[in-house]
Structure 1
Amino acid sequence: MPALESPSTHNTHKTPSTDTARLYLPRPSLAHCLRGTLVRDTRGVTLTDAQRFNFFPATPYCAITWFLEGESLEVQDGTRHYADSPRTPYRARILFSGPFSQPYVSWSTGPLYCFMLGWMPQAAQALMGLDPGVYANKVVPASEVMSPEWLDWCHRVRDAADDQARIQFIEATLEPKWQALRPEGMPGSQLVEDWAQHLATRAATSGLGRSLRQVERRIKQWTGMPLRELKGMGKLERAFFETLLAMETGTDKWSDVAEEAGYTDQSHLCRQTRRLTGFAPDDLRRRIAEDEGFWSYRVWGFQEQARKAPR
């Protein structure tokens, strides 16, 4: 997996660390098994209490999270009242989470070294036998849901010498399993919008029932989310990437972003942004540029910037 580090922000004095987050993209043969690996490492960096929040948008992906050093707490009230909401310790050091239809927030008690592996839902189901829908909007100990074989695999990932060794082990062990099970005709793109369209086509041409209700039921079984929700996330993902790219050139206008991403108007974009991230577009843009806690947004956005950069 090639690594992309979190880029510097537009207001670096408010964001003391620009190399505390890394994204590793999977090799092409695993592109529709794994979405990518996020590493958060704040060891040796001094952060205030406010800078130790971790913000994540709603997502259709599943994840396995390893807390290698340090501790994070789950913030109970999403993004709306995150600063004053109760914070609950996780019940294990290795966690499994399903897709989230709402934004998610955690808070680190101090320096943190965390390794997060994002899974495409159909791969989590095919390889590990886990139903994404059962774990939608949930974070649970891996030991409670995984088979002994997969739990041992998680322990071996944890015990690897470093991040590169972890990734090499993950790819070497998953590739033959995935190649034997992967569905045919997967799209070339990893964007949610393209993936959702592929799922809709696949659901409509497989199985005995092809009515709209049966197609939607099949997609929800595969992913844990209805097709309408996936399409909404795909559209917002496109708007998010367009916004970050426009921010780099200083040409960002919400009306242009809304039109480019396929929204009916700017108000529609604003409503969806607030629902899936917890913040209005202008507030979200400011926080991505200035707030340490939005490191995951920056590193994912940088992925798209790197992909579109001239070679």
Structure 2
Amino acid sequence: MHHPQGELAEALHGIGFYSTVDEPWPPAQPQLNRFPAMVYCSLNFFTEGAAALPGDDGELRAMSDLIVSGPRTRPIASLTLAPLRTVGIVLYPDAFALLTGLAPAALQDRNDPADGLLDDTWADWPQALRACADDAAQAAWIEARLVERWRAVRGRWDAELGASLRSIAASAPELGVGARQTQRQYRARVGLSPAQARRLQRMNAAVYALRDPHAPARSLADLAAELGYADQAHMARELRELAFLPPSRLEAHIETDPEYWPYRL
């Protein structure tokens, strides 16, 4: 994952790159891509290859070259249809709304084609990203375009709300607000309730801790307490629901299972 610096870090969580174009094809078994639930919104470009997601009816449908994704309250898995090269632009939901003009709440748990959602100012992005020589060139191009957009809308950004989305500690005051109007405003701007956002942030923090080789040695019970779970069993239930597996199994899959590559970004 490429993480931005400076003012763009207010809007952009990171840029993820993934490629299987140099791997043997077809694979020995179906190639799945498992994604955890997330508080973020994203723009996902397929610069090579194709993948499919289950529709509302459960039937697999091929995804378009540019997909717009809202906050996810549950994990999802896609199926690779041809060797992939993808770029994922992961945005904080409040910034996503300003940059795209789209409402995160309307996109919750959706992964929709960009056609009909994004305006014409995004039309040249797929071709431009395909023309970039490598990941570094793509990241530089994306940052240059996004920082222009961000400067144009940043004056309408609520920095206090933004802080609540960027750390678990900062989100605590938001969760203490009981007014229904405030809850509705938060949901309208973020696409999630404050409680949902904190739940996803806490799960993300647990995944980061499990995958970080430099994290301090600690038991799962200690990690659960540190992140504010009631106990280790509570953390296990949450991760199973939001990230496919409990922490006792998830750590090993993050390290070795190709299907869990998004967790390693």
Q: TM-score range by the shorter chain?
A: 0.7 to 0.9
C-alpha distance in structure 2 between counterparts of 1:144 and 1:69, whole Å: 22
- 1:244 is aligned to 211
Deviation at 1:197, TM superposition (A): 4.8
Q: 1:94 to 1:272 in 2, by over 3 A?
A: same
- 2:82 is aligned to 110
C-alpha distance in structure 2 between counterparts of 1:24 and 1:181, whole Å: 23
C-alpha distance in structure 2 between counterparts of 1:298 and 1:216, whole Å: 33
Gapped regions of structure 2 (runs ≥ 5): none
CA contact (8 A) 2:207 2:263 kept: no
CA contact (8 A) 1:51 1:291 kept: no
C-alpha distance in structure 2 between counterparts of 1:41 and 1:227, whole Å: 35
Supply the AA of the counterpart residue of 2:20.
T
- The residue matched to 2:184 in structure 1 has which SS? helix
C-alpha distance in structure 1 between counterparts of 2:103 and 2:54, whole Å: 25
- 2:168 is aligned to 193
Match of 2:33 among 43, 54, 74: 54
- 1:175 is aligned to 147
- 1:6 is aligned to none
Deviates more, 1:116-125 or 1:177-186: 177-186
C-alpha distance in structure 1 between counterparts of 2:97 and 2:126, whole Å: 16
Deviation at 1:63, TM superposition (A): 1.0
Q: 1:196 to 1:51 in 2, by over 3 A?
A: farther
Asked if 1:26 is matched to 2:1, the reply is no
List aligned pairs for 1:80-99, cutoff 5 A.
Answer: 86-90=59-63, 92-99=64-71
CA contact (8 A) 2:183 2:194 kept: yes
Match of 1:222 among 189, 193, 204: 189
Q: 1:240 to 1:162 in 2, by over 3 A?
A: closer
C-alpha distance in structure 2 between counterparts of 1:162 and 1:244, whole Å: 26
- 1:143 is aligned to 115
CA contact (8 A) 2:38 2:201 kept: no
User: RMSD between aligned alpha carbons?
Assistant: 2.8
- 1:72 is aligned to 51
Deviation at 1:179, TM superposition (A): 2.6
Deviates more, 1:175-184 or 1:118-127: 175-184
Gapped regions of structure 1 (runs ≥ 5): 1-22, 78-84, 205-210, 300-311
The superposition leaves residues 215-251 of structure 1 with CA deviations (integer Å, 9 ceiling, x where unpaired) of 1111111111111011111222222233334x66894
Q: 1:76 to 1:271 in 2, by over 3 A?
A: farther
How many residues are treated as equivalent by the alignment? 260
C-alpha distance in structure 2 between counterparts of 1:240 and 1:119, whole Å: 18
Deviation at 1:176, TM superposition (A): 3.1
CA contact (8 A) 2:165 2:171 kept: no
Deviation at 1:44, TM superposition (A): 1.4
- The residue matched to 2:21 in structure 1 has which SS? coil
Deviation at 1:153, TM superposition (A): 4.2
C-alpha distance in structure 1 between counterparts of 2:48 and 2:142, whole Å: 20
The superposition leaves residues 47-79 of structure 1 with CA deviations (integer Å, 9 ceiling, x where unpaired) of 7354721111001111111111111111469xx
- The residue matched to 1:111 in structure 2 has which SS? strand
C-alpha distance in structure 1 between counterparts of 2:100 and 2:71, whole Å: 15
CA contact (8 A) 1:32 1:190 kept: no
C-alpha distance in structure 1 between counterparts of 2:51 and 2:115, whole Å: 18
Match of 2:228 among 248, 262, 267: 262
CA contact (8 A) 1:95 1:140 kept: yes
CA contact (8 A) 2:211 2:255 kept: no
Supply the AA of the counterpart residue of 1:34.
L
- The residue matched to 1:144 in structure 2 has which SS? coil
CA contact (8 A) 2:67 2:112 kept: yes
TM-score in terms of structure 1 length: 0.74
